[in-house]
Every structure is written in structure tokens, then in C-alpha cells.
Chains A and B, each alone.
Chain A
Amino acid sequence: RKEVEQDPGPFNVPEGATVAFNCTYSNSASQSFFWYRQDCRKEPKLLMSVYSSGNEDGRFTAQLNRASQYISLLIRDSKLSDSATYLCVVTLTGGGNKLTFGTGTQLKVEL
């Protein structure tokens, strides 16, 4: 079983739609959680951190459920520019802050 699992997609959605991505992680000792965005042939960029209380940044909402070891990302009012691959990332405490990446979920927003 992979340490971080994501549905690879692609998710094809019309502009303006709401789309949700899910991610599960296997190590219950995971401490910090993030969503990164990666455009085609570009480097990953931090989209947002994920907190136990849930957090929102504009059209993006992230949720964490530690009991179920589950992370989600909700994108409202999708834009064409949201088309990218979204990477779920977890890290353990100590040990050099090593990140464990999911393989990513591809989103395509269409007219």
C-alpha cells in the first residue's frame, strides 16, 4: 500500500463547477499536511497547508480527518487556470522534515 494515495483522475469539469479531491495516508504518525499544485512540466508549488480545524483560502477549502487518515481539497467556481495536477503531501515530525507525496490528481477545467 502506498503511503499517500490519490485518485489519479483526470477530473474533467466545466468552468464554474465545484470539484473535490480526496487523499488517504497510511502512517498515523503523520504530522503536517499540504496540497501542492503542479502545472505541466513545472515544479510543484505549495497551494495550502491543511489544519485539523479545516482552512479556506478563497475558492479553496482543505479538510483533515485524522481519525480516518483522510485529506480533502474542495475547489469552488473552477477556473480554466485551475487546470493542473494536485499533489497531496504529508510529513512526519523530526527526521529532516521529509515530505511524502501522492502521485497527484489531474484536473482539467473546460469551457
Chain B
Amino acid sequence: DAGITQSPRHKVTETGTPVTLRCHQTENHRYMYWYRQDPGHGLRLIHYSYGVKDTDKGEVSDGYSVSRSKTEDFLLTLESATSSQTSVYFCAITGGDKFYEQYFGPGTRLTVT
């Protein structure tokens, strides 16, 4: 299995509070991604990174920011959490010799009350 961990694995927070989710990889891969998964929508890309300090928006980036100061870490921040951001968040990496194949972390279940 690819070396990807996410923390926390579960979190309950209140509307309006900031939340940061962490993705950590040990594969030294260049590309990292944040997705959210909701019933009826499948996985949707929030933001992705193509290198240290290099990030770009996905299809559902509003309300989220990201940072990547080291190859191994990709942080997702909800500046002011809303109930619509209750979801399961997955981090993924790609790179190495199979560039187009992505490998996912175990996910973070976030509930915003």
C-alpha cells in the first residue's frame, strides 16, 4: 500500500470554526490531491498540488485553502466551517513510474454542526 496517512481520521466541529486536515506521504511523489466525497456526487476535486508551494484549484474549491511547504505534507484548511462542508475528505497522490494512477489515503470524516 502507498504510504499515505491522514489526520485526524474523524472530527466534529462547530459552524464558523477553522479546521485543518493533514495529508502525509512517504512516497516522495510530486502530485497530491484533496477530494471530498458526498452521496450522489462521487469524489470531487477540491485542490491539488504539483510541487512544493505549487497548488491549483479543483471543481469545488470555494471555502477551502491549501498549503504545501514540504513534499510530504499537504494541508487542507476550512477557514470557517459550514454545515455544507460535512463530508468525507480523501487525500491522494500520484507520481513515480505510473503517473496517471492515484493512490488514496484512508479519509477523514468531518462533521460540522
A-B pair count, CB < 8 Å, reads 48
B56 touches A34 (CB 8 A): no
Known: A96-B48, A96-B50. A46 touches B102 (CB 8 A): yes
Cβ distance A97 to chain B, nearest Cβ, rounded Å: 6
Closest-CB distance, B47 to chain A (whole angstroms): 10
- The answer to whether A99 and B42 touch (CB under 8 A), given A43-B90, A43-B107, A44-B90, is no
How far apart sit A103 and B100, CA to CA, in the bound complex (Å)? 20
Please classify the interface of chain B as helix (H, G, I), strand (E, B), loop, or mixed, using the class held by over half of its residues: strand
Name 20 extra pairs, CB < 8 A, besides A43-B107, A99-B43, A101-B43. Answer: A4-B42, A32-B100, A34-B101, A42-B106, A43-B104, A45-B103, A46-B103, A49-B100, A87-B42, A96-B48, A97-B94, A97-B99, A97-B100, A98-B33, A98-B45, A98-B58, A99-B102, A103-B40, A103-B42, A104-B42
